[in-house]
Amino acid sequence: MDYFKNLLDLLKIEREEDRNQYRRLTETTSIAERRANGLTWYPIAIRGSEMSRGDYLTVEVERTTHHDLSHQLRAGMPALFFSNHDPQKDRVEGTITHQSGNRLKITLLTDELPDWSRDGKLGVEMLFDDKSYDEMQDAVKQANALAENPQNRLVGILTGQRSPTFHPNLPPIHNPRLNDSQNRAVEKIRAANELAIVHGPPGTGKTTTLVQAIKTLIKQEHQKILVVAPSNTAVDLLSEKLHEEGLNVLRVGNPARVSERLTALTLDQKMADHHLMKEAKKLKKQANEFRNMAHKYKRNFGKAERDQRKALFDEAHRILKDVGNTEQYIIDDLVAKAQVITATLVGSNQYMIRNLTFHTVVIDEAGQALEPACWIPILKAQKLVLAGDHCQLAPTIKSAEAARKGLSTTLLEKCVLLHPEAVSLLDEQYRMHERIMGYSSKVFYGSQLKAHASVATHELFPGDRALHFIDTAGCGFEEKLEGTSSTNPEEASLLIKHLTQVVTELRPYYSPSDFPTIAVISPYKQQLAVLNEQLLHAPDLQPYLPKISVNTIDSFQGQERDIVYISMTRSNDQQEIGFLADIRRMNVAMTRARKKLVVVGDSATLASLPFYADFITYAEQHNAYQSAWEWL
């Protein structure tokens, strides 16, 4: 079917670009640069090793320095174990099986540690992740085969060939913990035979609604449900909330946050707690002892020693086979007992659940999910629930060509347009003052959002204003180009001046410990560096630095703060606004604020785009417009 052939072509373009970027990052850079880019842990120390499934060796390592550097090494990724003495020769490939804090386990494609591993200078480096692309590609090909089968209604509906159907007159269930629009969404999910969509704008309680819907479905259908999301963080949040509701949750894959509550839900931990595991552990220990005895025989020896060595290895392997069978029995038992299985999109194909099918699959954060990845869990489903907001950030796509040709359009977005009858909009938000909400509601949500009474008029102190647009037009604040990023030091210092004034106004009302939280956001990375630098030199703000976070818009998706400052940065005579033109990104930025939103920018540059021209008009109508001249 053309639909899937097109998707496969786009995925191929994306994979090529991703691989090329990975190559550029790794082939021409020093180990220190790769470490700074989050690709490498170096130096590391070995903390232990054991035999694992399939006669491979699993090694636990710890990074011994540079603990503060963020990194991209995650469980499930292919990686390289290497020695920096001769990194071209001394290297073994493997897969990261666990990562938490500064430790990780890597299963190597070998049955013993290489000799060079004793000479220090060791590191682990992520490899290009072909496996995820293979999983996506296989899923799209399978979906294409299913599309030919008229029995498969779901694929036909998702590709727009047919329409979703709903149970008429189910006896309604009213959940007192939910508002009207949330209850309607749960009803829609119950009634759907194939597809239901929950559209959750910022602050409308999408997660709460999903959790209650999942609880209701489990009661109603007595079948286990697969719940997936594109990121580990989103999966973690749902897993915890479902567990708090008393459901038996099995978290497949590694959590991003290693909290005790979450770890208890993981397959590893549930296996460790299983009554049959004691016996398996004892056997594993025995196998490792045989293996260690075998290693005492060095390689240059006679036939008798060789036979003895082989006999010891054979015995170790035989025992491990028994361990494998016991572990498989435990896994099957745990999977059978779980009511909800949670995983990332690609993680939903891990070996322990690969062949399972589910009545219902729920994809959360579907607005950030790459469509080919969505097909991995969809193939396991009869019924699909998509939840997210296609008016916020789209998925990250490496290839501009693939994005332009349609890879950046999510399945959620397509289905909202194709099947409006399947969509429930959550229309009551619990985060923002109504002034902050108003513009976003008008532009993105057809003015349907309303602010719950608890937040509609909440303020930092009596008589405070919730919205400010500070216009730097005519002040001569010219942007500067730094590499590929823009900065505007004068705009930054104006913002810090304004923030200092606001903090001074708030001082009489709050102690430093209960002081409002503040986010300073800019779309431009270099501008953040300028803002951070100036923050450190603002004497009046020093006591409040723990309450202030400075970061990109993307890193604040899903978060909220009491006060949000946005530094728009761009200011030029050509009215060029670059990627500020991505108004969904701006929607995310503006809707992070609970009680106060301050946007600092140059109206002469911004107003070239109707979105900003209208925002400035909105600010004027609500007495929220000020000229930067007032602070100069």
CATH of segment(s) 132-248+343-426: 3.40.50.300
Element (DSSP H or E) covering residue 450: strand 450-451
Average pLDDT over residues 447-475: 96
What is the pLDDT at residue 358?
A: 96
| pLDDT for res 481 | 86
Residue 450 above 70 pLDDT?
Answer: yes
Mean pLDDT (the chain) is 93
C-alpha of 141 from chain center: 25
pLDDT in tens, 466-518: 999 999 999 989 999 887 789 999 999 999 999 999 999 999 999 989 999 99
**pLDDT > 70: what percent of the chain?**
99
- As a whole number, mean pLDDT of residues 510-539 equals 94
Joined tokens for residue 11: 């995925």
- Tens-digit pLDDT profile for residues 194-231: 999 999 999 999 999 999 999 999 998 889 999 999 99
Query: Who's near 195: CB < 8 A, 6+ residues apart?
Result: 154, 157, 158, 164, 383, 384, 385, 386, 415, 419, 422
The pLDDT of residue 51 is 80
Tell me: pLDDT of 315 over 90.
no
- Of the chain, the end-to-end C-alpha distance in Å amounts to 62
Residue pLDDT, tens place only, 182-193: 999 999 999 999
28-37, 68-77, 533-542 — which one is most confidently predicted on average? 533-542
In this predicted structure, what is the pLDDT of residue 27?
A: 84
Q: Give the mean pLDDT of 135-163.
A: 93
Reading phi first (left if > 0) and then psi (alpha if -120 to 50, else beta), residue 264 is in: alpha
Whether residue 391 is predicted with pLDDT greater than 70 in this model: the reply is yes
How many whole angstroms separate alpha carbon 177 and alpha carbon 209? 9
pLDDT higher than threshold 80 for residue 237: yes
Lowest-confidence region among 254-263, 285-294, 537-546? 254-263
- For residues 149-162, give the mean pLDDT: 91
Confidence of residue 409 (pLDDT cuts 50, 70, 90): very high
DSSP string, 374-442: HHHHHTTEEEEEEEE-TTSPPPP-S-HHHIIIIITS-HHHHHHHH-GGGEEE--EESSS-HHHHHHHHH
Instruction: Tell whether the model's pLDDT for residue 298 goes beyond 70.
Output: no
CB-facing half-sphere around the CA of 135: CA atoms within 13 A = 24
Mean pLDDT of all residues in 342-349: 95
CA angle 4, 228, 445 (to 5 degrees): 80
- The count of other CB atoms within 10 Å of the CB of residue 326 is 18
- Identify the weakest region by mean pLDDT among 249-258, 345-354, 494-503: 249-258
Element (H, E) at 149: none
pLDDT at 488: 94
Return the pLDDT at 600: 97
Look at domain 38-128 and name its CATH class.
mainly beta
Banded model confidence at residue 300, pLDDT cuts 50, 70, 90: low
Distance (Å, rounded) from C-alpha 126 to C-alpha 521? 30
pLDDT at 14: 98
pLDDT digits (tens, 9 = 90+) for 68-116: 888 989 888 899 999 998 888 899 999 998 888 899 999 998 878 888 9
pLDDT at 268 over 90: no
Lowest mean pLDDT among 250-264, 313-327, 360-374, 559-573: 250-264
Tell me which fold the domain 432-630 belongs to. Answer: Rossmann fold (3.40.50)
Pairing of strands 467-471, 480-482: unpaired
Res. 25: pLDDT tops 90: no
pLDDT at 512: 87
| pLDDT grade for 580, boundaries at 50, 70 and 90 | confident
